[in-house]
Chain A
Amino acid sequence: MRLAYYPGCTMKTDAKNFDESTYSAAEALGIELLEPTRWNCCGTVHALAKDNVMNYLAPIRNLIRVEQMNEAELVDDKRVVTQCAMCYNTLKRANAAAKADPDKMGKIRDFMEKEPNYQGSVSVVHMLELIKGLGWDEVKSKVVKPLDGLKVSPYYGCLLLRPREYGIDDPDHPTVMEDLLEALGAEVVDNPYKAKCCGAYHAVHMKEVAADLSYRILKQAQEAGADIIVTACPLCQFNLGDRQNEVKKHQREFEGIPVVYYTQLMALAFGKEGTGFEQNTPDPVPVLEEKGLL
């Protein structure tokens, strides 16, 4: 299966481990991911003000690239696979809003006169939806190194689940990551804060507030006995992982817990190279070695 894959900016820098492990995991599942040529910013945040058309240009331009890939028969259908939760949400919402509003679509077309018209034929999917669609038995059949004995706490964050109509799962009781982790042989540890905000972009100018929000997620996972937390967003990963130094400044008793992308555990269980654990902070290697997985 050849599919268009939109990575987004951070996947090529701070979240290289997410990008690389996505390719590794997809390859094991027989999915070939192809990036559109000259993809640009996804728009980062969806424009919620009703008269804002300008912020649709970036996401729609990317969707035009996907239509072009399909026309050139580089990919098998008109889906575009995303990973970063913000890219997913922004592309998904811009796509839906532009399709639903011919007036808006007209303005976008007029503005981008050098581009082919966007036909509105692309569907934006998240990698987790794609994997779920393959079936958990299919995932299980690719596992060569089951994650036996590893207690994993999934963290969804906001934009994979909300707003409700654009979410990949039930916003109150999501299960897709749990099902995936079980298929990989891990033991799932539930976290009641799994869909509560990590602090997101407050990390830039309100460090302490973001650290406080992240702390309750980290602490809860630890109290429940988790060895490791998994995320599906580079910003969640930054707040929950890299910013544990900030959490420790305020919570002296906090000892830290490794945080990795879900695809890193997939690549590990599938016996693939390119897990990218060396890029994670704090270091997840000791706990994975202790469990005999590395």
Chain B
Amino acid sequence: MSTGTSGLYFTFKPENAAFKAKVEELSGENIDLCFQCGACSSGCPLTGEMDLLPSTVIRYAQLGMAEVLESKTPWICITCFNCEIRCPRGIDIANVMEAIREMMLRTKYDKFTLDELTPEELRELPQIAIISNQRKLTA
């Protein structure tokens, strides 16, 4: 983690600026608007499964910390848009989560493939579940 020697200050390096710019470009969101109120995290139905709270993901993105790509959170986010209607700063957090997922998917990363399911499991599922899952989780 690119914190300074004492751990009390953060050095914003060119790579941090580049990462942040990429997130903003892909998401179309001005992430600096976030002032860490936590409304997104308090309303999120899936924080129990996450390693970083949604508001923490936004903070990582503000600081251009590429470590956020290793977080479980963007994959747990199911794009229910609850945070989108809660955010008092008008940030569409789901777009930021998608930007982070896309940065991984564009390296030909698959979060989950259907090979991991048994034929019985696959038969039970409606198309809508399979297609939306694969659209979100595969390159």
Contact = CB atoms under 8 A, between A and B. Distances in A.
Interface of A: 8-10, 13-15, 41, 44-45, 48-52, 55, 84, 86, 158-159, 162-164, 171-172, 196-197, 199-206, 209, 213, 234-235, 238, 242
Contact of A234 (B98, B116, B128): B128
Interface in B121-139: 124-133, 135-137
A13 B26 CA distance: 35
Contacts of A200: 78-80, 129, 132
B129 A238 contact: yes
A86 B80 CA distance: 11
Nearest to A204: B133
Interface string B78-89: 111110110000
Given A50-B26, A50-B27, A163-B92, A197 B128 contact: no
Contacts of A158: 79-82
A205 B116 contact: yes
A171 B79 contact: no
A45 B132 contact: yes
Main secondary structure of the interface of B (DSSP, over half): helix
B94 A48 contact: yes
Given A10-B126, A13-B126, A204-B117, A163 B81 contact: yes
B45 A213 contact: yes
Nearest to A195: B82
Contacts of A171: 85
Main secondary structure of the interface of A (DSSP, over half): loop
Given A172-B85, A235-B132, A14 B26 contact: no
Contacts of A49: 26-27, 95, 98-99, 102
A48 B96 CA distance: 9
B35 interface: no
B126 A164 contact: no
Contacts of A196: 45, 80, 82
B130 to A, nearest CB: 6
Interface string B60-99: 0000000000000000001111101100000010110011
Contacts of B15: none
A103 to B, nearest CB: 14
B112 A235 contact: no
Contact of B98 (A48, A213, A235): A48
Given A14-B127, A238-B128, 6 more contacts: A9-B131, A44-B135, A45-B136, A48-B92, A86-B132, A204-B133
